[in-house]
Amino acid sequence: MNNQQETVRLTLRSVSQLPDRRQFLHWAATGAIMIALGGCAYEVAPEVDQRRAENEKLPDGTTRLPPGQHLIRALKPMGGEEGDPSPSGFRLKVHGEVKTELELTFADLLALPQTEQTCDVHCVTKWSVFDSRWTGVRLAELAERAGVKSTAKHVVFEAAHGYTANVRLEEALRPTVLIAHRLNGEPLAPANGPPARSLVPHLYFWKSAKWITGIRFQAADEPGYWETRGYHNHADPWKEERYG
Ligand SMILES: Nc1nc2c(c(=O)[nH]1)N[C@H]1C(S)=C(S)[C@@H](COP(=O)(O)O)O[C@H]1N2
Ligand SMILES: [Mo]
């Protein structure tokens, strides 16, 4: 447990918690429409943005919007069996192929170096959201603190009620993979898996486990909740790896 004490001493990088007013005003001006579907209200991007998104290219030349996806304004609540949203009840176990097992409280998580990043997310049900702003701790940071063994090749995110999602270790260690606790400057809303979830923006969104309880490093791959129910083991949106 001396690892935990060590984490508390780290300085918390200051992050902006102001809502993005400019973006909000831009959306209002471009006339985003609210549509009710399945009891949930969410915003659909105006047609002009969809066309612009389809033409936009990433630095590597691929399209910013993956094939078969359409742009919406905000994360659509996709459900799932809710865990305990309270920060006081939060425990994050970092275990498996590690030299030092960790168990972090929410305060421990906040005491680690914080990353703020703006990225796109892509759900296999074909919606994408551009420029969502997340705050959290890099998985690579936790991996380093736990001392991941060279035998580890895969990561399994563990969440409330047995939900799991597997990601290849080399991909999980990308700087964009976070244990996130804020979205667009606010603590995660009830639907988005508070108090913290994983965020793997380059894979379909089911790999981003809400109400996270553990990060397990493994030598062998272990297909997770959706991967054992017909979904693709890898889930690259640009390759349309939807079904296994
Ligand atoms: N614990 C947990 N995490 C989960 C899920 C779930 O059912 N339980 N669903 C996944 C799926 S299929 C998607 S698309 C995203 C949806 O996240 P959102 O509801 O915040 O949009 O969460 C993922 N993480
Ligand atoms: Mo999903």
> In the listed set 31, 65, 99, which residue is the last one of a domain according to the structure?
65
75 lines ligand 1 (CB under 6 A): yes
189 and 229 assigned to the same domain: yes
204 lines ligand 1 (CB under 6 A): no
Q: How confident is the model at residue 11 (pLDDT cuts 50, 70, 90)?
A: very low
DSSP-derived letter for residue 95 is: E
pLDDT at residue number 239: 98
The amino acid at 38: G
160 and 227 assigned to the same domain: yes
Per the structure, how many domains does the chain have?
2
Strand boundaries in 69-219, DSSP class E: 70-72, 91-96, 102-105, 115-122, 127-138, 154-159, 164-168, 178-183, 186-187, 197-199, 212-218
Across the range 151-169, mean pLDDT stands at: 99
Across the range 126-152, mean pLDDT stands at: 98
Q: Which atom of ligand 1 is nearest to the CA of 159?
A: 1
Can you give the length of the chain in residues? 244
Across the range 24-42, mean pLDDT stands at: 40
- The bound ligand whose nearest atom lies closest to the alpha carbon of 212 is 1
Q: Which atom of ligand 1 is nearest to the CA of 226?
A: 12
214 lines ligand 1 (CB under 6 A): no
Q: How confident is the model at residue 42 (pLDDT cuts 50, 70, 90)?
A: low
In terms of Cβ atoms closer than 10 Å to its own Cβ (0-12, 13-18, 19+), residue 153 is middle
pLDDT by residue (tens digit) across 64-83? 999 999 999 999 999 999 99
Residue of the CA atom closest to atom 22 of ligand 1: 206
Mean pLDDT of the chain: 86
pLDDT at residue number 179: 99
3-state helix, strand, coil in the chain (%, to 5): 25, 30, 45
Q: How confident is the model at residue 113 (pLDDT cuts 50, 70, 90)?
A: very high
175 and 209 assigned to the same domain: yes
34 and 137 assigned to the same domain: no
Across the range 129-139, mean pLDDT stands at: 98
- The bound ligand whose nearest atom lies closest to the alpha carbon of 85 is 1
Is 74 within a domain? Answer: no
Range of the domain at 49: 3-65
Coil/strand/helix, residue 166: strand
Interatomic CA distance for residues 18 and 20, integer angstroms = 6
> What is the pTM assigned to this prediction?
0.85
- The bound ligand whose nearest atom lies closest to the alpha carbon of 198 is 1
Across the range 199-228, mean pLDDT stands at: 98
pLDDT at residue number 27: 40
Q: Looking at per-residue confidence, does 98 or 19 come out higher?
A: 98
127 and 50 assigned to the same domain: no
Residue of the CA atom closest to atom 16 of ligand 1: 78
Best substitution site from 210, 213, 215, 231 to test ligand 1's pocket, by max atoms within 8 Å of Cβ? 210
Cβ pair 86, 207 in contact under 8 A: no
Q: Worst-scoring range by mean pLDDT, 2-11, 43-52, 159-168, 191-200?
A: 2-11
Coil/strand/helix, residue 177: coil
Best substitution site from 40, 121, 205 to test ligand 1's pocket, by max atoms within 8 Å of Cβ? 205
